[in-house]
Amino acid sequence: MVNLLQDKVALITGASSGIGEASALSLAAEGAYVAVVARRGDRLQDLIRRIHERGGRALPIVADVADEQQVVAMVTHVKNKLGRIDILVNNAGVMLLGQIDGANTEDWRRMVAINVMGLMYTTHAVLPIMKEQNHGHIVNISSVAGRVARAGSGVYNVTKWGVVAFSEALRQESYKNNIRVTVIEPGAVATELTDHITDENAKKQQGEWLQGLTPLESEDIAAAIVYAVTQPERVNVNEILIRPTGQD
Ligand code: NDP
């Protein structure tokens, strides 16, 4: 079997669970050396063990993407250890749903800090490396919530809309350096994302909504990422919007 990503280095944020974890396994299975980032080191160690068992290569990095110094340190570490960064998957995120009126504004700060600032810090730190290589691919995970706003999701919508806008501006600034940019917009995916919602009412409503459909699996999004990053160099897959068949 041909490994499509042999000799490539992929940096994946938010790899300790859900979409990031599945993407790390899939990219490693295609031959990439995956640098996997999250705050929960124990979960990363477990992931590394599974990648190694399958014959893959992986480097764990415990870091908080909301902290720019930690982001710079993590990117420097990957460059020093692995020599290059071909693929960046900006996946780390939280979805702290709730009405605007009466919201705990700490939830807003966390979403903006992780979903927007974390993604931008990581991109900013990786870009000079990709420019020097004259080669790279940045995959940003937005959401259907980056395309459709809903009551109870306002600030999450802000962050994911921001990811879409940032991705398009980044594409226009980067294509001359052979850096491709893909934004992926999943609908509902069965992960632990909803477990972190702090507003009990919003959590209950989201749970009820999810009961009414068969969500996507993390592997479905990992497959979309693999599709985008394994296209020939001339192909820049700009955007992939994926809903579960039963989602409105
Ligand atoms: P999970 O909660 O399973 O995964 C989120 C990941 O982000 C975890 O690995 C978590 O690791 C990491 N993370 C959170 N905060 C930070 C931080 N400050 N620094 C570093 N890593 C962090 O959810 P999903 O897999 O579902 O979410 C992945 C992405 O997909 C998110 O951007 C989400 O918005 C997006 N998405 C998800 C959808 C869904 O329905 N599940 C739909 C559309 C988009 P740790 O806590 O160990 O740091």
Distance 192 CA to ligand 1 centre (A): 8
Using the structure block, give the residue that is written with the tokens 């004259």.
Answer: 134
Main-chain dihedrals φ then ψ at residue 58, nearest 5 degrees: -155, 150
Which pLDDT does position 130 carry in this prediction? 98
Ligand 1 mutation pick, 191, 198, 206, 217, max ligand atoms within 8 A of CB? 191
Task: Answer for the pair 92, 70: CB distance below 8 angstroms, yes or no.
Answer: no
CA distance 62 to 44: 8
Is the pLDDT at 2 greater than 80, yes or no? no
Three-state DSSP at 198 gives coil
pLDDT score, position 1: 55
Percent of the chain exceeding pLDDT 70 equals 100
Asked if 92 contacts 20 with a C-beta cutoff of 8 angstroms, the reply is yes
Per the prediction, the chain carries an average pLDDT of 97
ipTM of the complex: 0.99
3-state SS class at 61: strand
Span from the CA of 2 to the centroid of ligand 1 (angstroms): 30
- Tell whether ligand 1 has an atom less than 6 A from the beta carbon of residue 146: no
Share of the chain above pLDDT 90, in %: 99
- Write the residue with the smallest CA distance to atom 34 of ligand 1: 93
What pLDDT is attached to residue 100?
98
Give the bridge partners for 240, in sequence order.
Answer: 184
Asked whether 244 lines ligand 1 (CB < 6 A), one says no
pLDDT at 24: 98
Pocket flag, ligand 1, residue 12 (CB < 6 Å): no
Looking at the predicted structure, is the pLDDT value of residue 82 above 60? yes
Pocket flag, ligand 1, residue 11 (CB < 6 Å): no
User: Per-residue pLDDT tens for 162-210?
Assistant: 999 999 999 999 999 999 999 999 999 999 999 999 999 999 999 999 9
pLDDT for the residue numbered 3: 87
Catalytic residue among 33, 121, 156, 227: 156
Q: What does the pLDDT read at residue 45? A: 98
Distance CA 5, CA 12 (A): 14
Whether the Cβ atoms of residue 25 and residue 222 lie closer than 8 Å to each other: yes
Ligand 1 midpoint to CA 244 (Å): 18
The pair of structure tokens assigned to 135 is 């080669």
Ordered domains of the chain (ranges, CATH): 9-242 (3.40.50.720)
Q: Mean pLDDT, to the nearest integer, of 131-138?
A: 98
Write the residue with the smallest CA distance to atom 3 of ligand 1: 18
| pLDDT tens digits for range 229-241 | 999 999 999 999 9
The pLDDT tens digits for 4-62 are: 999 999 999 999 999 999 999 999 999 999 999 999 999 999 999 999 999 999 999 99
176 C-alpha vs ligand 1 centroid, how far in Å?
31
156 catalytic residue (yes or no): yes
